[in-house]
A and B are shown apart, each in its own frame.
Chain A
């Protein structure tokens, strides 16, 4: 599987398998796509903040779910957080309390409130070790 930075090139890809509207990114929002055999199977968007990364959206196409794609997308944002000067792997996100948050909790997230979660350095390293044990490179 290959990661690509799609922040400025998303329009080059067909998104018929995706439910979310990914065409309107905010200023400074970064979009990473995960490709399997040249097919786009997942997207994650995030912001680099002063001392953490904030995940704004994450989606995996239906037929690629339960195959670790979501974990890899999460892990690439965590890896990016480790590469920032003051973020140390910290990542936060908002989740509906509809079962999806259980996936994040299972991966080691901590709840700030019932909708707001974060991963600390140790939890993020755990996710990276699990899903990107050989590292992750984002191709431009």
Chain B
């Protein structure tokens, strides 16, 4: 489905959920479909991270962008603009997972403990610019710091 089709579907399902009785088959089917549309393509933990980083619920348009990014195996922070610290944390985790490296292996390579890396990836601890550079060097990738950066 393209973005317009996804948006149309989401709007239709939202209406069924809003208008139909909770015990109706139409409501049950719509609930199931709306959950699967997102989580069949995007890990619930990534959605958790994004929603909490943004500090607000998502619009249908953002949900559609996430679904498309998930379908195409693209990083979700290309679909939704995250706050700087969250963007860095997500990028580290995304790169690590794409390279099939464990937290323990990457932590050793960049000189931090596995616990520190876990906290950074979860957004519980900010990544220093230096650390971010070490991660990206390890993966031979580049990372553009946002103008609003407060990474230290």
| Residues of A bordering B, CB below 8 Å | 19-21, 24, 26, 47, 49, 51-52, 54, 56-57, 59, 90, 92-94, 96-97, 110-116, 118, 120
Contacts and interface: CB of A to CB of B under 8 A. Distances in A.
B14 A56 contact: no
A112 B23 contact: no
Interface in B112-132: none
Interface in B39-71: 39, 43-45, 47-48, 51-52, 57-60, 63
Given A56-B31, A110-B51, A110-B52, A116 B38 contact: yes
B98 interface: no
Contacts of A19: 23
Contacts of A52: 39, 44
A51 B51 contact: no
Count chain B CB atoms within 10 A of each CB in A20, A26, A93, A116 and give the residue with the most.
Answer: A116
Interface of B: 14, 17-18, 22-23, 25, 28, 30-32, 34-35, 38-39, 43-45, 47-48, 51-52, 57-60, 63
Contacts of A49: 39
A90 B44 contact: yes
Contacts of A92: 35, 39, 44
8 A-B pairs with the lowest CB-CB distances in the bound complex, closest first:
A20-B23, A94-B31, A111-B57, A52-B44, A115-B17, A90-B44, A54-B35, A120-B48
B23 A110 contact: no
Given A51-B44, A59-B23, A115-B14, 6 more contacts: A20-B22, A26-B28, A54-B32, A56-B32, A96-B17, A116-B38
A118 B44 contact: yes
Nearest to A92: B35
Q: Is the interface of B mostly helix, strand, loop or mixed?
A: helix
Contact of B43 (A24, A51, A114, A116): A51
A31 B17 CA distance: 21
A51 to B, nearest CB: 6
Contacts of B57: 111-114
A19 B22 CA distance: 10
Nearest to A59: B23
B22 A96 contact: yes
A112 B18 contact: no
A52 B58 CA distance: 20
Contacts of A24: 25
A118 B47 contact: yes
A112 B14 contact: no
Contacts of A54: 32, 35, 39
Given A49-B39, A57-B28, A112 B47 contact: yes
A112 B63 contact: yes
B94 to A, nearest CB: 17
